[in-house]
Every structure is written in structure tokens, then in C-alpha cells.
Amino acid sequence: MKRRRDDMEIVWQTPANPPERHDYIFRDGVRYVRPYYFEFICHVKNRWARKTIVDMFADEFKGRPHEYYVSAVKSGRIQVDGEMVPISYVVQPSQKISHFLHRHEPPVMAWEVSILHKEPEVLTVCKPASVPVHPCGQYRKNTIVGILQAEHDLAPLFPIHRLDRLVSGLLILARSASKADLFRQQIEAGMVHKQYVAKVNGVFPEDEQVVNVNVNYNAQEGRSTVEVESVGIGGTKLKGKAACTKFTRIRTNGTHSLVLCEPVTGRTHQIRVHLQYTGHPIANDMLYLSEEVVDRSNKGLGADRAAAKSAHSLPPIHDEECYTASTENSEEDFSIDPMCTNCPNLPPKGYDGREEGLWLHCVRYTGPDWTYECPYPDWAMLG
């Protein structure tokens, strides 16, 4: 689909246009995505209603200046129900808001997504740290699913479990929806055994440790906490969800220990916060090395949080978004958009592309009649 905006031709595509090799730029060990034109769509919430279109954006999405939103409305890059409106237009509940913008995806490290097993119905890969599994937040093409489609022509793919973006290791992807459903049924029935390895601080106890304490994830802070008691003051139930992890020391060098982690449940950051609870947090996990909330906004480990909180655009609505790359085929250049607040830089603001992966690695998943494994990472040698 082509539209004329700001006296320049912009090409918009839909999710039917898959990621391609030329969508990526590699610089100094970092994988970037060529900026592309993207349409965000959402509907006016009740608390947004009765504001002018410009004030709504300026109040709710503070990552861009007020002047940008004025220009975007005047140029038609922000529309209401598919129509251009004046900057004084007052929005009403449930109206559809479209925001057309030049999108800069966050960079990831350019480590290889190595294929471990390729079967007619199952694909397993060794996921590198820093790369999310599937489209989420600001990530669309810089994902495992996107890279496998672009570089290996593997699609469709259905991840049957997830690994946090900064976690590495075994990732299992079904190659059909029916196979994915079978895997998920086995996981939900408790028939799948999961194993990870972590490099933690200190000498971990020699005997098996079982941590069985609730985990409460705070989305605003981007971190979890544990709740030891099942009932709070006055009989009020706590917010955390039941969580259990088994830990076994594999070896130690007196400073760090390599620990086998076997989560029985699957809560957000469960292994990380349970290791913190034992007094042996993952040795490079800045989020859980102390009880205090770490300000990660200007560091590599802040990318997940920054992506979730970004005000560069409207929040993503997965089924209604269309996206594309619309740039030159040069390995170094990309099209500069005159209204873009990230151009002429390649990454979006706040991302330097340099991230150390967590010392947490998925090594094995075992089901009723199958086992998939991934080699140990170099840091597991405790060198």
C-alpha cells in the first residue's frame, strides 16, 4: 500500500510481508533493523476521552515533544477513524486512532541463532541472549521468529515456551499449530521437565535446595518479589502466585557456583528471584543482586523495561498492526524521515545495543516421549 505524506512516498506493508535478509544491518557485533514505516492502531480509552487529539498524545505518550504531535496531526500521520482531523479535535470513547510513524527497533547482539534439530514438525534452536522470542513491545523483526524467517525461510513457527529476552539456550518451536497445541497440553498437564543452568554468587549449598515461595511480578517495576506467607495480615490473601523451583549445585570454584535449576512452575522471573531468595543471585543479574529496584534506564539491562514503557508511539495492538521495511538495499544506509524523532540515528533513543546476557541458560526440556537439549554456554565452565 502506498500513500503520499509530507511530499514523500511511503510504502506500507502488512504482516503478510515477512522479514527479509536486507531488513537487517550489522555493525560492530550488533544487529539493527532498518527503520520502517509502521501503523499503530488503538481505540480511545474512557480516560483519554474529551481531550484534544494533541493533548491526548502529549499527556499519555510523553516520549515525544508536543510539537511533534501537532505536526503529526496536521500532516495526517495521526488520524481518527481513518480521517485527518484538526489539532483542536476532541476525541470520544472507542474511536480508532492511527499513528503512522518511522519505526526504529531496538538493536540486539548479532550472535547466531543456531539450529539444533530440524524435524518435520519441530525445530529447536539455541537462542542467544538479548533477542526476544517473538514480536513484543518495540520488537518485531529483531526476534527469533523474525530472524529464522528472514535468514532460513522457516515459517510458520509456533514457540511452545518462552525465554526472557536476556536468557539464552534451548528454544522449541512447533512447525504447525496442531503440534504446538500438543506440546502446550503436555506442559499444562505438568508432563514436561525443564532444566536450566545458572552461574550464581558464592558457594551454593551442596544438598538439593527446594524453594517453594510465592512470586509476585510488578509490571511497572519490571521485577518480581517473593512472598513467603500464603496469607497476609487479617487473613487477606497475598498477590503472589505459588511457585516452586529445585536447585542442585553442579560445581563451584569458591567464588561462583554453577547451579542446575528445575522450575516446577513457570512464573515471571521465577528462577532469578528464587535464587535471590536463597542468597545466591545470578552473578551478573543487576535486577536481583540487591533488594533495591535498580535504575536500568540508561543501561543495556534496561531495554525490556524501556520497550514496555516507551512513549514513542501508541501501544501495540498485535492483531491490528501492519508493518514493513521501506528502505534502500544498501548494507549501510537507510531512508531518513524528516519528521522522525529518532533519525538520523539507526537505533531508537536510549539503546546502545551493548548487552551482556544473563548467566542463565536453558539446557533441556523432557516430555513423555521426547527430549531436546542445548549445549552449555562458555561461562558455565566457571573460568
Question: What is the residue type of 97?
Answer: I
Provide the β-strand partners of residue 274: none
Amino acid at 321: E
Question: Residues 102, 343: contact at Cβ < 8 Å?
Answer: yes
Q: 23, 153, 164, 333: which one is catalytic?
A: 164
* The C-alpha cell that represents 55 in the structure block: 493533548
Distance of CA 58 to the CA centre of its chain: 25
- Reported for 248-256, long-range contacts at CB under 8 A and 24+ positions apart, including other chains, are 248/208, 248/209, 249/204, 249/205, 249/206, 250/197, 251/382, 252/203, 252/204, 252/382, 253/382, 254/203, 255/201, 255/202, 256/199, 256/200, 256/201, 256/202, 256/283, 256/382
Type of residue numbered 376: Y
Are 280 and 200 contacting, i.e. CB atoms less than 8 angstroms apart? yes
Is 164 annotated in the active site? yes
Task: Kindly list the catalytic residues.
Answer: 164
